[in-house]
Amino acid sequence: MTATSPVEQVGGGVATYVDQRVGSNKFLARNLGKVFPDHWSFMLGEIALYSFIVVLLTGTFLTLFFKPSMTEVLYDGSYVPLKGILMSEAYSSTLDISFDVRGGLLLRQMHHWAALIFIAAMSVHMFRVFFTGAFRKPREFNWIIGVALVTLGLGAGFSGYSLPDDLLSGTGLQIARGIMQSIPVIGTWMAFLLFDGEFPGTEFISRLYGVHILLIPGLILALVTIHLMLVWTQKHTQFPGPGRTNDNVVGYPLMPVYMAKAGGFFFIVFGVIALIGGLVTINPIWIFGPFMPDQVSAGSQPDWYIGWLDGALRTMPNWESVIFGFTISWNIFIPAVVIPGIIFTALALYPFLEAWVTGDKKEHHLLDRPRNAPTRTGIGVMALTFYLLLWVGGGNDIIAITFGLSINSIIWFLRIALIILPPIMFIVTRRICLGLQRRDREKLLHGYESGRILRLPHGEFIEVHQPINAKEMAVITGKTDITPLALPPATDADGVRNKHYAVKKLRSKLSGFFYSENVPLPTAAEIEEGQHHAEHAAAIEAPLHAFEDADQINRLHGGVLHHPGMPETNAEQLAKDGGHL
């Protein structure tokens, strides 16, 4: 009988003690063996989660030293160029964290980099979810939670970016105040409420601090918890493959495989963030100086995730109207309020729109390949193109200076491109997806092209096709062909007008827009015949392969390709040919 160590005895005793009170053993036995699929893209969500944990850990450290006060003080810290300068206590304490607190600059830069990676990982994770259709039933709520998390991430990033009260962050707050004031009727009152009077006021930093360290992180934690609970309950989606169906999950158990992988991956993410935070400077506030309402730093650029909003402001024409005595600044209101509102609302509602268009009420646990949903993929690429153009617009002054271009030419190019390029990219993307579908169909019907040309005994040249393997077969045949909804009749059998005709007609047209362009999969019989034909072609080539496989390297003169039974030397060759060359 194997002896039990003291540690195992204590652990077993604690486990028994807890189980007798909360029934933990049954819960753990049932859940630790839960299977999760394996794919590299699933790690994007883990990167977002782990970087958020780093944000919380480093943020907790920073709260111990940061002073969220706009009270003016004379700086007397270690950074000599700013000694004796009048500044807010918030800016002064941030300088102290950077230069006087041991490890402060490292933790502050880790906090900033982790926040950037958090938002980037969430964004790319949402792209993966969108392009693969992982938002479909029963995961619509999780998609909405994802949209909310990205929105909160933007708010957390901007609020933290604004806390140091340096000249660059103050410029961002000036822009935020202008956006608030552009909202008709209530905008001015909103700005007065947030800034406690005229900008910049004396209370805003302390108010923003509470939002940044309590409200937004609390909401993010709550939504992340709900998100993970839904993933656990609904089971994880998986890509098509051998043995994978809509009713099972093929992968590895949570314990010990994924627990070990998750723990190791967390430390990799933590280590990379620590390395970047230690080696790459970000937001050097001591260079910008304290915020002064009458000054703006040259070449001001926000963090990357706000760049598209800044670009929208810079690209919009200078339109203003006076309506009933109120000045409406359309050049601010449309790009900074209306367009983001439309984008995030459309993003949240998209799963319901696609389900309504298709009439699809089934549960989906197998993911789509982007090529198999060409319209959805085209819409996604079109949106990305729109976003990237706006993002480029956020750096139009830097681009103009760097490349010696006219800033007005850049602005006009972007204005035209924002209208023309997204639809072009939609069309191009959809055609590419359909071309990839046709290639998949050809693989099923004829096998894949080996690139080898074979001459048959009667002189005919053919290209040899090889049958596709079981994995690729399962991936390609995992596609679901959807038939567009038929146009509804305008009247019923008795000639009575259909009250819902207009809505159903719109739904039918949208369904056609989504699914009319599609390359259907061959039937099972066609696939079997095509693969048999490819196997037959491969069998014709088999004797040649057997002959080539028998070749060996003769080491007599370095390395000579030699086939058994053939002469090995010139003398043997001459003897075989009767002494004639």
| Percent residues over pLDDT 90 in the chain | 52
Convert the pLDDT of each residue in 244-294 to its tens digit: 888 888 888 888 888 888 889 999 999 999 999 999 999 999 999 999 888
* Helix and strand numbers, DSSP H then E, in the chain: 22, 10
User: CA-CA distance, 231 to 235, in Å (whole number)?
Assistant: 6
**Confidence category of residue 566, pLDDT binned at 50, 70, 90:** low
The per-residue pLDDT for 452 is 76
Angle at 200 (CA atoms; ends 195, 203), nearest 5 degrees: 50
Q: Which residue has the higher pLDDT, 114 or 545?
A: 114
Q: What is the mean pLDDT of the chain?
A: 87
Note the helical H segments in 404-523. Answer: 407-446, 470-476, 501-515
pTM of the model: 0.87
Q: How many CA atoms lie within 13 A of 567 on its CB side?
A: 9
In the predicted model, is pLDDT for residue 553 greater than 60?
no
Q: Which residue has the higher pLDDT, 152 or 248?
A: 152
Enumerate residues 6+ apart whose C-beta is below 8 A from 215.
Answer: none
Other C-beta atoms closer than 10 Å to the C-beta of 28 total 13
Q: Which residue has the higher pLDDT, 225 or 259?
A: 225
The per-residue pLDDT for 26 is 77
Phi, psi (degrees; rounded to nearest 5) at 352: -75, -35
H/E stretch holding 252 = strand 252-253
Is residue 152 classed as helix, strand or coil in its secondary structure? helix
The per-residue pLDDT for 59 is 96
In the predicted model, is pLDDT for residue 455 greater than 80?
no
**Confidence category of residue 421, pLDDT binned at 50, 70, 90:** very high
Torsion of CA 406, 319, 196, 70, to 10 degrees: 0
| Percent residues over pLDDT 70 in the chain | 91
Q: Which residue has the higher pLDDT, 258 or 64?
A: 64
